[in-house]
Copies of this chain bind each other. A is one copy, B any other.
Amino acid sequence: MRIAVIGLGLIGGSLLRALAAAGHEVTGFDADPATRELARAAGHRILDSAPEAVDGTEVAAIAVPLPHLPRVLADLAGYRGLVTDVTSVKGPVRALADEHGVPRFVGGHPMAGTAASGFAAADPDLFRGAIWVLCVEPHSTDLADWLTLARLFTALGTRVVPITADEHDDAVARISHVPHLLAAALTSTLAGAPLSATLAAGSFRDGTRVAGTRAELIAAMCAGNAPAVHRELDAVIADLIRLRDDLTDTAPTAKILPYLEKSTKLRQSWPPTPGAPGRMTADADALLALGRSGGWVTSVDGTELSTMRPETDRFSS
């Protein structure tokens, strides 16, 4: 296929390299001239503007941070190909795509490591084995477009998870954004507490690790998903308030034990192990049922999909 990648940082650069390695005809653009030079020196066809890069392509993957997305979507006004993105929040991006009247849009979110950054760290194998969320909206997603991207990304070795933008945003609030805020709050207990800093060990180290992330990144990702983060954080706070109050009981051990027994069992069951492989014919409802059960697509053959579901149903309450 002819594919353009706009934004050539770690994710965009890795995608450009992975798609090129898979034999696609790939073009790229980055707003930073030095990044364009790096990508050109690596042998890629890099244009000097987004419209030139997408010209004549069937798919445009936008791999820029959320704040830059409106500008790129404006640059691509008039593009008639299939547009996707890689940002970590999907509801706001869908709203932006609607606002800009993008004719064919399917939102995506590859969940791949981001410790390094920039094109210099780009790795064609970055996505192998990684989850790649591809949004399905029951009444608006064009299934053929969805399948085009699912085929493209599963062929790179990813596990494609079909889910609505809102359900995605709730899930990442829970499993990524709220953990960053808990880590920040836990770290903050060390302010003015040098004794605690000296005594802190394993449980503190792990519970606060992501608090060392750049503050601007944490703020941007939480604020960019504010309604879902608010809701999920509120649920965690409610549990913590209950645990705090249970500690004032005359028999606190017995009072907090049932809650801890449940969470210990959940943690010991995670990560879920893959179950037996399955097959299904693609339609929006079946795809969403797969995603909601924690399953994913491993390959696409026309409208026939190979799938995988987690073995345990422990998380299905």
Interface, chain A (partner B; CB < 8 A): 111, 113, 131, 133, 161, 163, 167, 170-172, 174-176, 178-216, 218-220, 222-223, 226, 229-230, 232-237, 239-241, 243-244, 247-248, 252-253, 256-257, 259-264, 266-268, 270-272, 291-296, 310, 313, 315-317
Chain B: minimal CB distance from A310 (Å): 6
Q: Would you call A186 and B236 a contact (CB within 8 A)?
A: yes
Q: Are B183 and A207 in contact (CB under 8 A)?
A: yes
Report yes or no: B176 in contact with A203, Cβ–Cβ below 8 A: yes
Given contacts A182-B182, A206-B210, A267-B211, contact A111 B199 (CB under 8 A): yes
Q: How far is the CB of A69 from chain B (nearest CB, A)?
A: 15
This protein's copies in its complex: 2
A195 contacts across to B, CB distance below 8 A = 161, 163, 167, 171, 291-294
Q: Which of A176, A195, A243 has the most CB of B within 10 A?
A: A195
Is B131's CB under 8 angstroms from A236's CB?
A: no
**A162 CB to nearest chain B CB (Å):** 10
Chain B positions within 8 Å of A315 at CB level: 190-194, 196-197
Q: A174-B196, A195-B163, A294-B197 are in contact. Are A185 and B243 (CB under 8 A)?
A: yes
| Additional A-B contacts beyond A176-B201, A206-B210 (6; CB < 8 A) | A161-B195, A174-B189, A174-B193, A182-B185, A182-B240, A192-B316
Contact (Cβ within 8 A) A201 B188: no
Indicate which residue in B241, B252, B270 contacts A200 across the interface (CB closer than 8 Å): B270
B residues near A262, Cβ cutoff 8 Å: 188, 191
B240 and A181 form a contact (CB under 8 A): yes
Give the Cβ gap from A252 to chain B, nearest Cβ, in Å. 4
Set B194, B210, B218, B296: member contacting A272, Cβ < 8 A: B194
Q: From known contacts A209-B206, A237-B240, A267-B208, infer whether A260 and B219 are also in contact, taking CB-CB under 8 Å.
A: yes
Does B310 contact A198, Cβ atoms closer than 8 Å? yes
Contacts of A218 in B (CB 8 A): 260, 264
